[in-house]
Amino acid sequence: MLTNTSQVLLRNIQFVENQNVLILNHEADALAVELLDTASSVTALALDFNHHQTIAKQTKANLHCYFGHDVPVDAQLQTFDTVVIYFPKAKALAPYLFQLAAKHLDVGGTLIVIGENKGGVKSLAKLLPNYYSTALKRDNARHCLLFVAELIQAAPKLNINDWVSQYQLATPQGNITICNLVGVFSEKKLDQGTELLLSHLPELTGRVLDFGCGAGVISAAMLKANPSLNIDCIDINAMALKACELTLEANDMKANVYASDGFKQISGKFDGIISNPPFHDGLAATTQIAKDFVKSSANSLSNKGVWQIVANRNLPYADTIAEEFGQVNVPAENNKYKLYFFHK
């Protein structure tokens, strides 16, 4: 099933006829496969690992799928006739995607931008850099808009470091340097949940999992407290993973940073699992993700292992934790978050 934005692109498939196409920030569907009926080749770059997984196993000729913040240097193609951008939910990421698209277009190449009306794509004209022509609206359907523009001059050279916001962050474990990238959540101070978590960080040894690592705040704080920890930092967001790598590097720290869809790409047991999980909205789907996280955590915790998370106090964690761990400990809480702790 194609998303609404993908359906709108498919309605305008004439724009990719006989073209070598690059899709940036694609959604969790098989639009890339559908385009092969008309396009010469399709390269799909996902910034969300879950979205990448939806088409990564396809073995179609002339289809190339990647996950990351840029197309790898050893990719089949480096420049394309047409680049398609799915307008990002994090509006701050849009300018990065425009410059990334320009890197992979020759002058005269076509840029297609699609997005939901309510998602910010209406402001495209104000956001598009001057190395593109004026974006023309070509379709308006399914509550989505499709714009087309042309690269009219070479863009500045893309350097990921130009998109980094670096700042000092005070934590209970000491000051750390954070290197955050556009599109990754950051307040330049400890959010309430992370502050609660780090203020009551248990004693940790051995191998530790930072689930939903973001820009690496929790991992850097843990390593500040105990540099001997062997930490796995996982996330599904390519920009977050790159930011985490840069944060660790800036603090002269090392950890294993990689993408994982839930616990699917994780192997082995952990002596500690510490997380401010990236699900807080209380929706039914989110609640199920939270339950799956607790269950997977219980299966991945070593003998005498420590598990501690901070979560929105409105999410129904207690019953699931009691079911999986046999008990529920809440060592601290505030008006918005609860800290859940278990020690085998």
The β-bridge partners of 310 are: 339
125 and 202: one domain?
Answer: no
Boundary of a domain, candidates 110, 127, 157? 157
Q: Which residues contact 172 (CB under 8 A, 6 or more apart)?
A: 195, 198, 199, 201, 221
Task: Transcribe 5-69 into DSSP letters.
Answer: HHHHHHHTGGGGTT-EEEEES--SS-HHHHHTTTSSEEEEEESBHHHHHHHHT---TTEEEEESS
Residue 75 has what pLDDT? 87
What domain range is 256 assigned to?
161-343
169 and 193: one domain?
Answer: yes
152 and 207: one domain?
Answer: no
Return the percent helix, strand and coil in the chain, to nearest 5.
30, 35, 35
Boundary of a domain, candidates 134, 157, 180? 157
Each residue's pLDDT tens digit, 306-330: 999 998 888 778 888 889 998 889 9
Each residue's pLDDT tens digit, 179-231: 999 999 877 788 899 999 999 999 999 999 999 999 999 999 999 999 999 99
Each residue's pLDDT tens digit, 118-133: 989 999 999 999 999 9
171 and 232: one domain?
Answer: yes
Residue 282 has what pLDDT? 44
